[in-house]
Structure formats: C-alpha cells, structure tokens
Structure 1
Amino acid sequence: MRLAQALNCTQPPQPGEACGECRACRLIERMQHPDFSVIQTEEGGSTLKVEQIRELQRTLSLAPYEARYKIALLLRFEEANPSAANALLKTLEEPPPQVIMLMTASDGEALLPTILSRCEVIRLRPLSIDQVSDGLQTIWGLPAPQAHLLAHLSGGRPGYALGLNQNPEVLEQRQIRLDDLQRMLKSSRVARFSYAEEISKDRSILLDTLQTWLTFWRDVMLRAAGSAALLTNIDQETEINSVVEKVDLATAKGCVNQLERAIEQVERYINARLVAEVLLLDLPRLT
C-alpha cells in the first residue's frame, strides 16, 4: 500500500516517498482509489477464484482514471486455484501500459513455476520491533503500550500487527488460549483428557492454540536460558517468570520441541485428539 501511495502521490516530500496527506494517498489508504485494486480470497472462502482474476483484467485494461499508474495488489496468491493462476499468466507476461502488479505469497514455492518465472521476487524481511512500534504510533495513532505489544506479537511484521489491531477478537482468543495453558499446567490428567477432547473437535482451533502455546514456551525457554532476546508475549511476563521458577531449561526446551512436533502432526492430518492428548499428558504439572 505504501508503494502504491509513493507511486501515485501528488505531493511527494522527496522522490520515492508518499506524503500520506494528498487525495491519492488518502484514497489508497482507505482502499477507495479507483486506480488501486486489492484482490484476495473472499471472506469465508479458501481459494482465490478465476472470476476475480477476470474482473481484475477488465479493470486493468482501462486507462488510469486519475493516477499515474493503475496498481493491483494480489494478496496471498498461493491461495489462487490453478484456473485463477493460469488466467493471470498473459497479464503478467504483457501487462497493460501504466499498470503495476504486486503479488504477495507466504511461500514462493507454493506458486506455479510459470507464475514465479514471470515475477521479480522481492524477499521481505521483518522490521525491528522498535520500527514497527514507532510506525503504529506515528502513522496509525496507536497508544504506545498497545503498539509495543502488537510489535512484539507480530515479530516485526507490520501487516500482521495491523491485522491484530483491526481484529481485537484475535487478541481476545489469544488471551483465552494462554489462560487455558496456565490452567492445564495445574490440572489433573482427567481434566487434561477432557480439554484435549474439547479442543481437538476443530483442527484449526487446535492449531491456533498450539501455535500460541509455542510462543509462550519459547519465551519461557529464552528467559530460563538467561537470553537477552526480546520476548514475544511481553504482556505475560509475570506468568513467564512464574513458570521459569518451576522448570529448568531442559524442560522448557522439551516443551518447545513437543509443541513443534504436535503442530507438524496436526498439519499432516494425524488424529487431532490423539495429538492433543499426548501433548497435554507430556506437559509438566506445576503447582
């Protein structure tokens, strides 16, 4: 989005930068600019469809309405079904004049080779925690404590941090999962079996829970090792320190390994309830 603003800004403070205040910048930020298109998997869907690509091609075939460039942002293109990906090949090979297409993918190897060969690959690396926090405050107006937390949770990924800010229910679910972890660490085997049965009914919920728990145990491992590395769950420092007082480094490493193994097994569609039961029985019982 910032690149789209920089390319079409009418009052750039210097070449290659966007002012963020002109009409073009403001419309792009609100995703309302007639020359800026965002294509992504529809809400509730699992794939990007060929009909979306056809509609984009019709839009791009027209001259820009008011900007220098028509810009198309195709998000998570690894989710495109084969028909959609193949439909885009001709446009990638011979884009219309004054058209720039930006495509994102979490894994380039998940794209068709014919798509990848027609793109210039730019590998995006995480920003520093301070850079993300500062940006959330200065550009998006977030209060410092919230910006700092989101920066840590995002691991330096601005888009993910913004997504968390725009979807507070995700943070609420994270807190519930962390509370569940603390409860399970103090629970009996019977309670753990019951929780495993409950949480394994939905594989996606189980996976999200395991990934949240993994970030917590990584923080415990870092703190137990005396590492100066930044914690992810900075709002859980009291809970992290409490666990560190009760487990040694080897136990913390073991929990990290067990969670990584469980996540891999769930992703490979191994019996979800069995994975959850084995993991929960292996986690230490803290009193």
Structure 2
Amino acid sequence: MNDWSSIQGHEQIKNDLRQLLAEKRLPHALLFTGIEGIGKNLTANVLAKVLFCSGEKEKPCNNCSSCRAFDAKNHPDFYCLEPEGKANNIKIEQIRQMQSQIALSPYLADKRVVIINDAETMNEAAENSLLKTLEEPTGDVVFILVTANKDLLLPTILSRCMKLYFAPLSEDEIKIILKSKYAVNEDKATVIAKLSGGSMKRAISFLDDDNFNLCQNAMDFLSKDLNAKDIWQISDEFSAMDKAKIKQWADFLQMIIRDLLLLQAGADDNLLYNRDKKDVLDKLIVNFSLNRLFNCQNLIENLVKRLSSNADLKLMMQDFMLSWREQK
C-alpha cells in the first residue's frame, strides 16, 4: 500500500502537492520530470490515490473503497498509458482510447486520473491529439505526465502543464533504501549508491551481476582503438540487445567520462563514480584530452536521445561507433 511515506526524499515536492490539494488549487495537468528511477512514477500514483480517496482524515486512508480498488489495480477511474509495441512508443490509438474513457463520468470517485509514463515516447500524432484534450480541460480529469526527457515533448504541451522537477536522490537516501529494503551490506551499498547517479532504479539494477558486466564492458570500450572490424562487430552485438540495456551501457559511459573530466580537473578521488577502478581511470586519462572528453560526452548524449526514436538500431550504433572513432 503506497502513501506519502513510501516516497523516499523529495520533501519539497510532497509538501507542495499537499498544499495544492489542501487549497484545492491542483491544476488539471502536471508534468513530473527528472532522471529515471527517482520516484516520479511512485509520486504520481500516490497523488492519484489521494485524489480518489474518500477518507475524512489523512489521505490516502488505505481503507476506503477507492483506496482498496487502487491498491488492487482495478480502480475504474484510473487510466495509465505506457509505451507499447516494437517501436516502444505511445500511439494515437492509445490516446483516443483514453479520451473515450475520460469522456464518461467518474464511476467510483469524483475525478478521473490519467498517468502517462515515458510521455516523451508519444509519437507526433499522439502528442497533437493529447494537446487538444489538455487545451479543453473538463474539471473532473487530472493528467500527470511522467518523463525523463521533457525536451522531447512539444513546447505547447509543456506550456499546459505545471512542471515539477525531481532531483536525483542523495547517496545517503539510496543507501538507506538498499540496506532497509534489499538487505545490502554497508560496503556494497556505498559502492552502488555512488554508481547509481541518484537513481534508485539504477541502484537496484546493480544488484544484478549482469549489469556490473555492462559497466566493465563500457570501461573496456573506452580502452579500445576501434578499427572497422570492431565497429561492425560491436554494432551487431548491440543491435541484438534491447534499448534499455543499451541506454544503461551509455549511462555507464557517461559516468566514466565524468570521472575522467574530474581527474582532468584534479578533483578528489572520493567524487569519482568508479573510485574502485581508479587505476584503470589513470591509464585511460592519458588517451583523452579535455576536448575529446567533451566531444565524447556529446556523442553519448545524442545516442541516448536517439534511443527514444524509431531509428534502425544497427545503423544508429554504427553511426555512433564511426563518430566515436573520429574523436582523437
């Protein structure tokens, strides 16, 4: 049963939402933005549950019919949209189906709530269709758009939403969750919290040894002097992976590049994500000028953005590898 206490950190956002609710000033459309895995979706669900709750005191009460229905994942006034299909995006058909549902009066509560997860994956037709709905609010529907990349959304959609930025979780907050919920020991929790980049989702992924291998793969990639054979071989390997894994690999690359930038600046070793691999970083830094590091950082950021598109994965990776080889 989720409630406000389930949300780790983000005290200011929780207080702001509670105040808006108390003053009955909650807008019809909100945008929760911030990196992946920091509690945006959980907060959206808690807010939806609060809006549905018919309890007379602290909300959510977890006892009323609405709270029970929401916890059982069958609340009739709740609608959640997520990317679907091979393209892993949100299509206009999904938006239209949602629109037909919210056109009906609420059944159990006095509002309907629509959560759109990974809102940046809406295709153009879906965005334009949603925009028309946001421009003509009915008063009994609340939209919560959740995204890790708001810049991929139409400016007109952004302008219709109240934007709430979720900052990355602190290392201490990550450690507390790892130790209390996942029984991770202090030493391992410290390392994972450092690698997590403030994302609980990423921290949890490190409990899987396969993801540690991805991190090592990223370190090995930075050590390579790519030739044509490497480019085609690596591109083939990545084209067989799902985009989430490639995104994670790219995140690891970003962390290593950040560490190398810190080393270039003479920063304290305690600031490094990969401080347990300081000896490897010391060897890598010899091959990376400051200009090359910034160029590589831009390439990785561009790759992450393109992973949200429908571009051919193999061609995308080949283009990335070729551009990477040109950075000297």
Residue aligned with 1:73, SS:
strand
Deviations 1:199-239 (A, max 9, x none): 13347677754442231242355467343765445xxx43x
What is the aligned partner in structure 1 of residue 100 from structure 2?
58
Match of 2:233 among 198, 222, 225: 198
Partner SS state of residue 55, structure 1? helix
C-alpha deviations, 1:126-184, integer Å up to 9, x for none? 2323234435666xx323457666654443245x44xx74x689x55542333334555
Is the CA contact (8 Å cut-off) linking 2:219 and 2:256 kept in structure 1? Answer: no
| Match in the other structure for 1:78 | 120
Pairing 1:1-287 to 2, within 5 Å after superposition: 1-9=45-53, 14=58, 18=60, 24-25=66-67, 28=70, 31-135=73-177, 141-145=181-185, 151-158=193-200, 160-161=201-202, 165=204, 174-183=211-220, 194-201=229-236, 202=238, 209-219=249-259, 221-222=261-262, 225-227=266-268, 230-233=271-274, 237-238=275-276, 240-244=277-281, 246=283, 251=288, 256-263=293-300, 271-278=319-326
- What SS does structure 1 have at the residue aligned with 2:115? strand
TM-superposed deviation, 1:74: 1.0
In the superposition, relative to structure 1, how do residues 230 and 28 fare at CA in structure 2: closer, same or farther (>3 Å)? Answer: farther
Change (3 A) 1:144 1:199: same
DSSP 3-state at the match of 1:65: coil
- Cα pair 1:19 1:25 within 8 Å, conserved: yes
More moved, 43-52 vs 146-155 = 146-155
- How far is 1:111 from its partner? 2.5
Note closer, same or farther for the CA distance 1:2–1:107 as it changes in structure 2 (3 Å cut): same
Q: What are structure 2's unaligned runs of at least 5 residues?
A: 1-44, 307-315
CA offsets per residue over residues 36-85 of structure 1, 9 Å max, x none?
A: 22112214224311111111112212233323432110123232223222
Q: Contact (CA 8 Å) 2:218, 2:252: kept in 1 or not?
A: no
C-alpha deviation, 1:86, in angstroms: 2.2
Q: Report if aligned partners of 2:231, 2:321 keep a CA contact under 8 Å in 1.
A: yes
Quote the sequence identity (%).
Answer: 27
Q: Secondary structure at the match of 1:122?
A: strand
CA distance in 1, matches of 2:178, 2:55: 23
Larger relative contact order (CA 8 Å, sep ≥ 6) = 2
Distance 1:152 1:28 in 2: 35
Question: Which SS does the other structure have where 1:121 is aligned?
Answer: strand
Which residue of the partner structure matches residue 285 of structure 1?
Answer: none
Corresponding letter in the other structure for 1:59: Q
Maintained 8 Å contact 1:36/1:71? yes
Instruction: Give a deviation string over 1:231-264, Cα, whole Å, max 9, x none.
Output: 445xxx43x2222554668958566435314425
TM-score, scaled relative to structure 2: 0.62
Q: Distance in 2 between matches of 1:43 and 1:12?
A: 42
Contact between 1:78 and 1:107, CA under 8 Å: does it hold in 2? yes
Structure 1 CA distance for aligned equivalents of residues 74 and 190 of structure 2? 29
Equivalenced residues, count: 265
Cα distance between partner residues in 1 of 2:63 and 2:173: 21
Whole-angstrom distance in 2 between the partners of 1:198 and 1:256: 24
Alignment CA distance shift 1:11-1:195 (3 Å): farther
Q: Secondary structure at the match of 1:102?
A: strand
Q: Distance in 2 between matches of 1:184 and 1:107?
A: 26
- Determine the C-alpha separation between the residues in 2 that align with 1:210 and 1:182: 11
